Amino acid sequence: MNKVEGIILDWAGTAVDFGCFAPVNVFVDIFNNAGIDVTMAEARAPMGMLKIDHIRAMLAMPRISALWEDVYGRTFNEEDVEKLYAEFEPALMVSLADYTDPIPGVIETVEALRNRGLKIGSTTGYTDAMMEVVVSNALKKGYGPDFHVTPDATDSIGRPYPYMIYRNIEELKVSASWKVVKVGDTASDMKEGVNAGVWSVGVIVGSSEMGLSLEEYTSLSELDRERVISETAHSFMQNGADFTIETMKELPELIDRINELISDGKRPSTN
């Protein structure tokens, strides 16, 4: 049957934690503690990657790299990465349970998709230990996919590599990669989907890419809201998304559209 069989959702910024604030605040804090003043935009840029890879990506940014040399008189090394990560993980674990509220519309959308017989998988940049906190707390609040996998299961090779998606395809017994839709809120999510050969969808409102809290978003003027939605959508498309949606509530209708494309012989883009 040539139809979508499975949906793979990201976690923070897609399914839970509107705006993806849990990790961002900690990244800013650990760099500040090391004497390096980083911006929220810099902390968000690699979002979606395995968290130690995220730290490496931040250190490799030209401005941060130059600041590191100014402060320490040398370029950063792997020992610096590991020291920062050793501070990051326990700091995140302290607050992680507070950032597990399902994003509005997610629970209802997942229920609607399940009622169609679709399987719900997930990938993340969090580790197994982090996901123990996230999964259990999200489940209490009404959200839980059929399967979740972290980079711990793929030899710590996370996004943008496709291996976590492959694990989902295997576990959920989906018959082909082009019958899978990956939904995420970061550039890394889009690249992961492209590399796996699945349909890639960027969800805009609540995303790390947008970077706004629910309060900040709802307080925007209509003009500003249209602007940030357009900018976020453009970023997703630039990073390989096949489609963007404003909220998860639009996903069932998009699945209908993708099914029509599949019936016409179309397949996900590999740009």
Residue 1 lies in a domain: no
Catalytic residue among 3, 17, 51, 249: 51
Q: Which CATH number is 90's domain given?
A: 1.10.150.240
pLDDT digits (tens, 9 = 90+) for 5-61: 999 999 999 999 999 999 999 999 999 999 999 999 999 999 999 999 999 999 999
140 catalytic per annotation: no
Domain boundary among 76, 98, 120: 98
Predicted TM-score of the model (pTM): 0.94
Q: Which residues are annotated as a binding site?
A: 10, 12, 185
Do residues 248 and 163 share a domain? yes
Q: Which residues are annotated as a binding site for Mg(2+)?
A: 10, 12, 185
How many Cα atoms within 13 Å fall on the side-chain side of residue 88?
25
Q: What's the whole-number mean pLDDT along residues 90-110?
A: 96
Do residues 78 and 125 share a domain? no
266 catalytic per annotation: no
Do residues 190 and 106 share a domain? yes
- Say what percent of the chain tops pLDDT 70: 99
Domain span at residue 163?
Answer: 6-20+102-263
Domain boundary among 44, 66, 98: 98
Residue 237 lies in a domain: yes
Do residues 154 and 140 share a domain? yes
201 DSSP β-pair partners? 183, 243
Residue 31 lies in a domain: yes
Do residues 61 and 138 share a domain? no
Q: Is the pLDDT of residue 270 over 80?
A: no
Do residues 229 and 122 share a domain? yes
Q: What's the whole-number mean pLDDT along residues 108-132?
A: 97
pLDDT computed for residue 1 by the predictor: 73
Do residues 142 and 180 share a domain? yes
Do residues 175 and 229 share a domain? yes
Domain boundary among 98, 113, 144: 98
Do residues 224 and 112 share a domain? yes
pLDDT computed for residue 269 by the predictor: 79
Q: Which CATH number is 121's domain given?
A: 3.40.50.1000
